[in-house]
Structure 1
């Protein structure tokens, strides 16, 4: 059983390596590094496991990944329970991230959204708000990108529809992004 699961995980990573245009990931690194280097924010959002991934990404960038450096302006939109619960209670859960994009987003900043389906309504609404502000939108999704495909400047979609395997590939990809952003900004 374990061997089969690990084989499936390896197969998704291999398909990701074959299918993914590396220039898209490298362009995401450049956009994120340029924004952070200019004092613009990186906003990151997702639901469930992807919310945990959003926290993980911002933790690596505010703290450190591999190098000693200054903290970076990375904000996880799912990590403030007071904002999330107040806004969802008074308005709607669908707009909990777009409201924060309105509050923290800036022209020249980047919104990174994680959604294995690409169809999470609150992530989609955040992308719409970010585009209205002139932010670069980067989506990490499963196969095809769902609704986020049309709202993304850069789409990083893992060729799978199996949520746990998509999330595993996302971890590899965002660790690479964090490593490369840090390398550019640590000097």
Structure 2
């Protein structure tokens, strides 16, 4: 049956592109995702926390993933220590105004990050200066670094202990796969820590 709609072709093309990219992610990210889950579980079991950060759509995904851990994801359980460095508009605008937007995550990591914590950077390009600086600061502070990255990982790739890279050029497809990977990360952490 043919659907006569001007929306059908772009919808089909987006779905096909997403499917193709999903297959690539499945082929490349499995072992790294498993390591990321283990790294996060170890940190959480030792009273450390997970700090998420990103820009724009990645900022909202950082908040989304932190909420899945601090609240609940698939079942009721005790909160897991997680927070997004993108949530407090007073903090982000003060740092941007008094210092620079490039130091947005550096300042927060200096104040909140402790050795053994996990810094999870979300970046579709892997080149944003504030993300790069944030990862450098996280490493300096002896945090474990995980990247949800796009394209070829950009400058962030070498700054991540573990990198889940969506090998695509389309920002929307990268963000969609970051959400899939983020949900898997949260669900597997929850399962590992709270299911016998």
Tell me if both proteins adopt one fold, taking TM over 0.5 as the criterion.
yes
Deviation per CA, 1:60-114, whole angstroms, max 9, x where unpaired? 0000001211111101000000000011101000011111111111111100000
Aligned residues: 186
Q: Which residue of 2 aligns with 1:5?
A: 14
Aligned equivalents of 2:149 and 2:51: distance in 1? 16
**Aligned pairs for 1:1-187 within 5 A:** 1=9, 2-18=11-27, 20-187=28-195
Aligned equivalents of 2:88 and 2:19: distance in 1? 34
Please say if residues 67 and 186 of structure 1, whose CA atoms lie closer than 8 Å, have aligned partners that are also in contact.
no
* TM superposition shift of 1:15: 1.6
Please say if residues 40 and 73 of structure 1, whose CA atoms lie closer than 8 Å, have aligned partners that are also in contact.
yes
- Which segments of 5 or more consecutive residues in structure 2 lack a partner in the other structure? 1-8
Please say if residues 50 and 81 of structure 2, whose CA atoms lie closer than 8 Å, have aligned partners that are also in contact.
yes
* TM superposition shift of 1:21: 3.8
- TM-score of the two chains, using structure 2 as the length reference: 0.92
Partner-residue secondary structure (3-state), 1:157:
strand
- Which segments of 5 or more consecutive residues in structure 1 lack a partner in the other structure? none
* TM superposition shift of 1:125: 0.8
Aligned equivalents of 2:29 and 2:16: distance in 1? 23
Aligned equivalents of 1:37 and 1:161: distance in 2? 36
Aligned equivalents of 1:135 and 1:17: distance in 2? 27
Q: Which has the larger radius of gyration?
A: 2
**Moved segments of 4+, more than 3 Å:** none
Aligned equivalents of 1:120 and 1:186: distance in 2? 35
- TM-score of the two chains, using structure 1 as the length reference: 0.97
* TM superposition shift of 1:143: 2.3
